[in-house]
């Protein structure tokens, strides 16, 4: 019998201390690089976007991977890559932790649309308010003291 899976995650990665260190002019280059990491892990990147202090990804997760290892690999590889590229001269690192929310396949198009509109969205809702809202909507308890690590 074959193995079948459908595991979608809407993940949010913030920069260290929520500093605006992802240049808007070079973010597409970063997104392509992260897309390569995701593909090399045997996963699919459905959408990626963000602003200067965080990014959102909608991916599936290969059943042989743990979510924490997958996110760690994305953060480590992309951070090293940005430190090597002069176009990310303000880059320091990703913050500790991440948000990851399971999604049903039926929600996929809505979440893709939400991620595509990040730049517009954040003209109305600051990142920390968005992050708290996502945590609450997904029933996750949190301690705000850890938001700036």
Share of the chain above pLDDT 90, in %: 82
Q: Which helix (H) or strand (E) holds 38?
A: helix 27-40
In angstroms, the CA 140 to CA 72 distance is 20
Instruction: Evaluate if residue 103 carries a pLDDT over 80.
Output: yes
Question: For position 148, what pLDDT does the model report?
Answer: 66
pTM check: above 0.75: yes
Residue-wise pLDDT for 13-56, tens only, equals 999 999 999 998 999 999 999 999 999 999 999 999 999 999 99
In angstroms, the CA 124 to CA 106 distance is 26
CATH of region 8-148: 3.30.70.1290
Averaged pLDDT, 115-127: 93
Instruction: Evaluate if residue 7 carries a pLDDT over 70.
Output: yes
In angstroms, the CA 122 to CA 56 distance is 12
Averaged pLDDT, 124-148: 89
Averaged pLDDT, 70-75: 98
Question: For position 82, what pLDDT does the model report?
Answer: 96
In angstroms, the CA 17 to CA 37 distance is 24
């Amino acid at each position: 019998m074959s193995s079948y899976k459908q595991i979608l995650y809407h993940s949010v990665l913030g920069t260290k201390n929520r500093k605006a260190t992802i240049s808007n002019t070079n973010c597409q280059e970063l997104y392509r690089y992260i897309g390569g990491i995701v593909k090399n892990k045997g996963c699919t990147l459905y959408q990626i976007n963000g602003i200067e202090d965080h990014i959102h990804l909608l991916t599936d997760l290969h059943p042989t991977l743990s979510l924490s290892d997958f996110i760690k690999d994305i953060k480590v590889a992309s951070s090293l890559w940005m430190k090597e590229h002069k176009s990310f001269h303000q880059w320091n690192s990703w913050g500790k932790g991440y948000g990851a929310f399971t999604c049903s396949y039926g929600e996929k198009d809505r979440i893709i649309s939400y991620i595509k509109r990040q730049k517009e969205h954040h003209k109305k809702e600051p990142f920390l308010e968005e992050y708290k809202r996502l945590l609450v909507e997904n029933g996750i308890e949190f301690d705000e003291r850890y938001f700036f690590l």
